[in-house]
Chains A and B, each alone.
Chain A
Amino acid sequence: MLAQLAVTDDEVAGWTDELNKILAYAEQVGEVAAEDVSPTTHPYPLDNVFRPDEPGPVLDRDVLLAGGPETTDDRFVVPRIVAEE
């Protein structure tokens, strides 16, 4: 559900074993690195990066909308967000 992927029962059957194998392999990371080791999520330390808050050129709305599969009245169209009661 989190992955937002529609899957068939056949796919689930095939993937269960495969993904378990991959996760079992990846679980090796649990063998090292105690909790006192701080995690690295970015290899090159940079502090907050700021820029002057000045208006600059932006892309036209039409240009951006052109990439969408369905648009109308200057907006992207999506099916309703919430299911009916």
Chain B
Amino acid sequence: MRSLVTATATELARRLDAGEVAAREVIDAHLDRIAAVDDSVGAFLEVTADHARARADEIDSRRAAGDDVPATAGVPIAIKDLFCTTGIPTTAASRILAGWRPPYDATVVRKIADAGLVMVGKANMDEFAMGSSTENSAYQPTRNPWNLDRVPGGSSGGSVAAVAGLMAPLAVGTDTGGSIRQPAALTGTVGLKPTYGRVSRYGIVAFASSLDQAGPIARTVEDTALLHQVISGHDPLDSTSIPEPVGDVMARLRDGVDGMRIGVVNELSGEGYEVGVSARFDESLRRFESLGATIVEASLPHAPYGLPAYYLVAPSEASSNLARYDGTLFGIRVDGETSAEMSANTRAAGFGVEVKRRIMIGTYALSAGYFDAYYQQASRVRTLILRDFERAFADVDVLVSPTSPTVAFPLGDKTADPLAMYLNDVATVPASLAGIPALSLPNGVDEAGLPTGLQIMAPTLREDLALRVAWAFEQDLGFSPIPVGHNTVAVP
């Protein structure tokens, strides 16, 4: 039997439900783990130990009393600091929200609590989810549990590091252009960006509203499916929430890929992708063939325009969303003679450099005279990319590519060159712009022992298909998601 911190959420739920272990034991084991390793990893901005112990004790009492308790009650989870949590600091890793305690829970947080999952902490991230390395956090960097000199990816870097570092078997992140999938790839974890609108955005600090989507992160595909089932579904509090039912994503999880057609996206591999990444990707294609799938070439001709379009659409929407941080309703204030001065001073002091960069690009791209050439033109490219996907999915069941062109890179490697950092998102952005579900799972390690990621993209609403393909691959590969090798966190 695996230790409590190396066990999967599914295993923990089974043992908790069978009464073999108490929620308090599970939570204490993970809080001990956090205390032991998070000084070196930096996954959490806030460890909610008191909250977690109180919740665990309550769950144990209810189980002891014979109450109807969900099987998952007592399983720990890390929550990205972009989700509002009542009375618990929520900063989006920004100085501008320092000390702010939301008066309500995000719908995702409420659903997590309803399933009895216990929040152990708020996870670090790039400020306002803008970044691909978690180095844009205003508070601390997060280190990759597979190599502490390297980044965990971003923006959901704290969430994936908590899961890879065995501080929680589950985490929720958000993905606007790749912020779940790229960090999952860099830390040997599984991360799913569901269809846009599948998971409620209510109570999630907004970055780019037409792209933002919350999703599950775990060490196995089964756990990822389990958490997706918990957090997804229609929410009347989010007007962009999809009314179609989610269905049982576990029902056909084990049905395999025999007879499926899997498309390799020509434009999302080859040049610009590291040797180790490409080698693992090619092996993955052969593995799918050995499992009975047919590999076919597919093309998304406009995918190369995805990244430039994304870096207009996302900053434009961000510049509008972030207008609310003006020193009036929440967060910090830096005084000024007039209201406008107070706002400008507050924002200058409260936002980090990447956030300012994107606000400036966004306000410029939306300004009269430039709107047509930038935001409008980027939105047209979005249509072309949507059409590309529709055409491709007419011929194949799912599309695959490497998740990230690189493995985890050293801290500080790309902070001086914003464009180099943006290129991390080249393979993840097309699915974001089209709103389709896409998942990353580990497909091995490179020559230095760092994890590589395989991206599986599925048609709209078909998270179940992406998960099914991923499960078949994972079972055959037998990858162990526990970090090993030089300069990793110690495994109990």
Count residues of B near A (Cβ-Cβ below 8 Å): 72
CB of A37 within 8 A of CB of B383, answer yes
Chain B residues with Cβ below 8 Å from A55 are none
CB of B357 within 8 A of CB of A6, answer no
CB of A67 within 8 A of CB of B330, answer yes
Name B326's closest neighbour in chain A (CB-CB): A4
Name B313's closest neighbour in chain A (CB-CB): A41
The answer to whether the Cβ of B275 comes within 8 Å of any Cβ in the partner chain is no
B residues 366-409 near A (Cβ < 8 Å) are 367, 373-374, 376-384, 386
The answer to whether the Cβ of A49 comes within 8 Å of any Cβ in the partner chain is yes
The answer to whether the Cβ of B1 comes within 8 Å of any Cβ in the partner chain is no
Q: State which of A7, A27, A32, A79 has its C-beta within 8 Å of the C-beta of B342.
A: A79
CA distance A12 to B255 in the complex (A): 57
Query: In whole Å, how far is B213's beta carbon from the nearest beta carbon of chain A?
Result: 10
CB of A3 within 8 A of CB of B377, answer no
CB of B386 within 8 A of CB of A5, answer no
Name B434's closest neighbour in chain A (CB-CB): A43
CA distance A81 to B308 in the complex (A): 38
Name B102's closest neighbour in chain A (CB-CB): A67
CA distance A40 to B433 in the complex (A): 9
Query: In whole Å, how far is A62's beta carbon from the nearest beta carbon of chain B?
Result: 10
Q: Mark B313-329, 1 if CB is under 8 A from A, else 0.
A: 00000010001001111
Chain A residues with Cβ below 8 Å from B364 are 19, 23
Q: State which of B337, B344, B382 has its C-beta within 8 Å of the C-beta of A83.
A: B337
CB of B361 within 8 A of CB of A78, answer no
Name A33's closest neighbour in chain B (CB-CB): B380
Name A50's closest neighbour in chain B (CB-CB): B239
CB of A5 within 8 A of CB of B338, answer no
Query: In whole Å, how far is B201's beta carbon from the nearest beta carbon of chain A?
Result: 12
CB of A79 within 8 A of CB of B381, answer no
CB of B330 within 8 A of CB of A33, answer no
CB of A44 within 8 A of CB of B240, answer yes
Name A21's closest neighbour in chain B (CB-CB): B419
Chain B residues with Cβ below 8 Å from A6 are 341, 344-345, 347-348
CB of A49 within 8 A of CB of B330, answer no
Please classify the interface of chain A as helix (H, G, I), strand (E, B), loop, or mixed, using the class held by over half of its residues: loop
Q: Mark A13-32, 1 if CB is under 8 A from B, else 0.
A: 00100110111011111111
Query: In whole Å, how far is A22's beta carbon from the nearest beta carbon of chain B?
Result: 6
Query: In whole Å, how far is A76's beta carbon from the nearest beta carbon of chain B?
Result: 5
CA distance A76 to B363 in the complex (A): 27
Most chain B Cβ neighbours within 10 Å, of A29, A42, A46, A63? A29
B residues 254-272 near A (Cβ < 8 Å) are none
The answer to whether the Cβ of B335 comes within 8 Å of any Cβ in the partner chain is yes
The answer to whether the Cβ of B331 comes within 8 Å of any Cβ in the partner chain is yes
CA distance A27 to B196 in the complex (A): 26
Chain A residues with Cβ below 8 Å from B422 are 22
Chain A residues with Cβ below 8 Å from B102 are 67
CB of A28 within 8 A of CB of B305, answer yes
Chain A residues with Cβ below 8 Å from B308 are 25-29
Q: List 12 A-B contacts (CB under 8 A).
A: A18-B418, A22-B422, A30-B373, A33-B381, A33-B384, A37-B380, A42-B240, A46-B197, A46-B242, A63-B103, A69-B332, A79-B339
**Interface on A for B, CB 8 Å cutoff?**
2-7, 15, 18-19, 21-23, 25-33, 35, 37-44, 46, 49, 51, 59, 63-64, 66-70, 76, 78-83
Given A29-B374, A43-B436, 13 more A-B residue pairs with CB atoms under 8 Å apart are A4-B344, A26-B374, A29-B380, A38-B380, A42-B210, A43-B196, A64-B103, A66-B101, A68-B329, A69-B333, A80-B339, A81-B339, A83-B338
What 7 A-B pairs come out closest when comparing CB atoms? A43-B435, A39-B379, A33-B380, A69-B333, A6-B348, A6-B344, A67-B330
